[in-house]
Amino acid sequence: MSTVLVVNAGSSSIKYQLLDPDTREVSAKGLLERIGQAGGELTHRVGEETTTRRGEYDDHGEGLQAVLDVFEEVGPSLSEAGIVAVGHRVVQGGKAIDGPRLVDDALETEIDRLASLAPLHNPPNLAAIRVARELMPQVPHVAVFDTAFFHDLPDHSATYAIDAATAEQYAIRRYGFHGTSHKYVSAQVAERLGRDDLRTIVLHLGNGASASAVVGGVPVDTSMGMTPLEGLVMGTRSGDLDPAILFHLHRVAGLDVDALDTLLNKKSGLLGMCGSNDMRDVTKAADAGEADAALALAVYTYRLRRYVGAYAAAMGGLDAVAFTAGVGENSPRVRWDSLAGLEFLGIRLDEARNAAGDGVISADDSAVTVLVVPTDEELEIARQAAGFARPSGG
Ligand code: AMP
């Protein structure tokens, strides 16, 4: 048995799972929300049993302590779970980090240094790592980076066409994110189709959304760039736009850098276009004839269609498309609309299979296999972390 505790700390939340990466068995999972705000809430699930705790959690330290306490109170006992490693999700690994790393003081310093590239993400990731190492000093802590899978993107895909010296000085390049999910899902597709030479497009469509082009397990392009703002239309983020819009809004509307940041990251995307970032609401409203929701859905799916075409060209052909994450796994409408009209690329969905949304959803005569593949970032993090487990008895 090799149990791993996976910790995914956001700015005001901690998501966690206790699981065995070999058997995939999840013995407990939970979510603590509203750290540093009023009305903090911890939901802890063991099988069908849900335990809820409410309290004020001032910082990630108090939050993580509450998580450890609930494990001790309602189980399973962490001290008896046989934990071989703690896996931590870290968003930005920069130019040097190309895989999971054992956390030591030097790595903490590096994650801290990279916070300038990911100011919303790396600080909470690091805060949780620091507290977890203090509270659980006896096990190895492993950082698994969102950017690592895309570390070796070809230069022509990672480079922005700006002044080279400026880019070098300020580490401006395309890093890509959601890498743990893209790695897991593309590997699932290869396993499922029994081929290791596939040209695959993975569409990770959650509240954040990204696409990747993967050839034989190696990513050649991805839609998120220096930050998770670039690329697809997302719940609250704009994705691609003309950067001159920022100069224009600064000059004519007087928006400063923080206001622009908030506008594009928090008030754009589906939410900005039609008032909801939940695809279920958007689809329902579009079906009810609301014009702004119909337009938002059309912009969202048209952007997807463009990326699929672009990535087929980037890879010189296409064998598989995989949909994953909240929207990708659950919205037949988005899957259908985004691939409509791509028969010339060899893509043909089967209507009934798409409605069922389980496994292969393309027609038997479709040259490209289209699949729905549930992502499992926790499992992928646990697997990578388990690779650093100390030999038992050691
Ligand atoms: P994630 O970030 O992967 O948890 O995905 C969250 C997104 O999935 C939210 O925007 C939800 O609206 C969306 N989602 C969840 N269930 C459905 C569904 N049945 N149909 C459409 N979108 C869904």
Instruction: Tell me if 326 CB under 6 Å of ligand 1.
Output: yes
Instruction: Tell me if 279 CB under 6 Å of ligand 1.
Output: yes
In this prediction, residue 392 has a pLDDT band, given cuts at 50, 70 and 90, of low
**Per-residue pLDDT, 393:** 40
Q: Tell me how crowded residue 119 is: count the other CB atoms within 10 A of its CB.
A: 12
Report the nearest atom of ligand 1 relative to the CA of 207. 2
121-134 pLDDT, tens digit each:
999 999 999 999 99
Distance from C-alpha of 91 to C-alpha of 120, rounded to nearest angstrom: 10
Crossing angle of helices 257-266 and 244-253, rounded to 10°:
120
Question: Residue written as tokens 């399973």?
Answer: 76
Distance from C-alpha of 213 to C-alpha of 186, rounded to nearest angstrom: 9
Distance from C-alpha of 327 to C-alpha of 149, rounded to nearest angstrom: 22
Instruction: Tell me if 331 CB under 6 Å of ligand 1.
Output: yes
158-190 pLDDT, tens digit each:
999 999 999 999 999 999 999 999 999 999 999
Mean pLDDT of 201-213: 97
31-51 pLDDT, tens digit each:
999 999 999 999 999 999 999
Mean pLDDT of 91-120: 95
Residue in 280, 301, 323, 337 to alter for ligand 1 test, most ligand atoms within 8 A of Cβ: 280
Q: Supply the residue whose CA is at minimum distance from atom 23 of ligand 1.
A: 327
Instruction: Tell me if 93 CB under 6 Å of ligand 1.
Output: no
Distance from C-alpha of 59 to C-alpha of 40, rounded to nearest angstrom: 11
**Per-residue pLDDT, 394:** 39
**Chain CA centroid to CA 43, Å:** 21
User: Considering the chain, what is the average pLDDT of its residues?
Assistant: 96
Q: Which two tokens stand for residue 114?
A: 């990279």
Residue 1 has pLDDT above 80, yes or no: no
Burial class (CB in 10 A: 0-12, 13-18, 19+), 111: buried
In this prediction, residue 120 has a pLDDT band, given cuts at 50, 70 and 90, of confident
Distance from C-alpha of 394 to C-alpha of 375, rounded to nearest angstrom: 33
Distance from C-alpha of 2 to C-alpha of 84, rounded to nearest angstrom: 6
Q: Supply the residue whose CA is at minimum distance from atom 17 of ligand 1.
A: 330
- Catalytic residue annotation: 146
Side by side, which strands form the sheet with 40-46?
49-55, 40-46, 26-33, 14-19, 3-9, 83-90, 141-145, 101-102
Strands (E), the chain: 3-9, 14-19, 26-33, 40-46, 49-55, 83-90, 101-102, 141-145, 199-205, 209-215, 218-222, 320-324, 359-360, 369-372
* 191 vs 75 pLDDT, higher one: 191
- Cα of 31 to ligand 1 centre, how many Å? 17
Q: Which two tokens stand for residue 16?
A: 């966690």
Instruction: Tell me if 264 CB under 6 Å of ligand 1.
Output: no
Q: Supply the residue whose CA is at minimum distance from atom 10 of ligand 1.
A: 278
- Cα of 206 to ligand 1 centre, how many Å? 6
* 120 vs 384 pLDDT, higher one: 384
Mean pLDDT of 296-305: 98
Q: Going from the N-terminus, what domains does the chain have, and what CATH number goes with each?
A: 3-145 (3.30.420.40), 195-377 (3.30.420.40)
Question: Of the candidates 91, 187, 181, which has an alpha carbon nearest to the alpha carbon of residue 143?
Answer: 91
Report the nearest atom of ligand 1 relative to the CA of 277. 10
Distance from C-alpha of 12 to C-alpha of 128, rounded to nearest angstrom: 11
Distance from C-alpha of 2 to C-alpha of 21, rounded to nearest angstrom: 7
Instruction: Tell me if 278 CB under 6 Å of ligand 1.
Output: yes
Of 16-30, 110-124, 287-301, the least confident: 110-124
85-98 pLDDT, tens digit each:
999 999 999 999 99
